[in-house]
Amino acid sequence: MSLFNRLIVLTLPLVPKPIVRLISRRYVAGETLAEMLGTVQRLNQEGCVCTVDLLGEFITDIQQAHATAARYKMILDTLHQANVQSGVSIKLTALGLLLDEPTCLELVRDVVAYANTLKMFVRIDMEDSECTSRTLDIYLKLRNEFQNVGIVLQAYLRRTLGDVRQIIQAGAGDFRLCKGIYIEPREAAYPDPEIINKNYTLVLEEMLKRKTYVGIATHDEKLVWEAFRLIDAYGLEPDAYEFQMLLGVDEPMRKQIVAGGHKVRVYVPFGEQWYAYSMRRLKENPTIAGYVFQSFWRRLLGKEKHRETKLKELARQN
């Protein structure tokens, strides 16, 4: 990242919320169940399936975890009643992983069991490396009981290839493979993007050759190409894997993958806690962040006017 972009990222927290909100429309499907459902229906019409994430990661009180589990059941009901093609994605810290592990297991079991009665799927997101072993333990316990639950593995972690082998050995599977989003210590994760890409391809091949279902979650066209190569080399049918992308990121590539006859699942975050998520996405994309930054300063200096239109245009195009 250039020095200028780094500066932008550092000063992003100074940007007023309404400006961040304007840009974040691209990445977040609103605050309400109705807004979320509208986005899922639109994506289904475009030939994509979805997974819905309720925003809100860090909790300080186990009561918040109970409330989150109840909200997830409402989300499952909403999706089921509307007969749309979507599962849900869930973060275990939002269900109390770091506060009270037995309660977390009980709550996530409750959500997975409820989804099972509706024939719907629950994906457990992976968080930072302090959570990895605990998250995998809970996943393996649940997978013993239910088939409608899957896990995420991160290609930047040094342990991941070993985890894949152990999980498959234990008779479980159904992975989402992503690079990983958290800032990790060197002993846990590869810092070099080239090695991360090589490890992604290595781990993906291990998953595909062992015939476990994989959600190939990336916007990196080099990795999408590697995935196509492996799909072809192993002669996989389109129901053996899917691609996964975040809402609002590289829609042209998403359309191209769909047009190629591959299944694509879009990760649809929504909820009142959109701000932290949007800031993370903006930090990943300094070009967009740069426009937010310029707009903010022009506004301060009284030179706004046409920038608002420019921002709206940009949010629509991207």
In the complex, the residues that contact ligand FAD under the rule CB under 6 A are 125-126, 152, 154, 178-182, 217-220, 244-246, 249-250, 267, 281, 284-285
Q: How far apart are CA 73 and CA 51, in angstroms?
A: 14
Q: Identify which of residues 222 and 305 has a Cβ nearer to ligand FAD in the complex.
A: 222
Label residue 237 left, alpha or beta by phi (over 0 means left) and psi (-120 to 50 means alpha). beta
b/e 90-119 (16+ beta carbons within 10 angstroms → b): bbbbbbbbeeeeebbbebbbbbbebbbeee
Q: Is residue 61 classed as helix, strand or coil in its secondary structure?
A: coil
Is 134 one of the catalytic residues? no
Q: Identify which of residues 35 and 220 has a Cβ nearer to ligand FAD in the complex.
A: 220
Pairing of strands 86-90, 175-178: unpaired
DSSP 157: B
Label residue 235 left, alpha or beta by phi (over 0 means left) and psi (-120 to 50 means alpha). left
CB of 91 to ligand FAD, least distance (A): 8
Q: Identify which of residues 94 and 245 has a Cβ nearer to ligand FAD in the complex.
A: 245
Q: Identify which of residues 187 and 301 has a Cβ nearer to ligand FAD in the complex.
A: 187
> Strand pairing partners for 223?
none
Is 125 one of the catalytic residues? yes
Q: How far apart are the first and last CA of the chain?
A: 20
Catalytic position from the list 26, 53, 123, 125: 125
DSSP 46: T
Catalytic position from the list 176, 254, 265, 281: 176
Q: Identify which of residues 81 and 287 has a Cβ nearer to ligand FAD in the complex.
A: 287
Give catalytic residues, as residue numbers. 125, 176
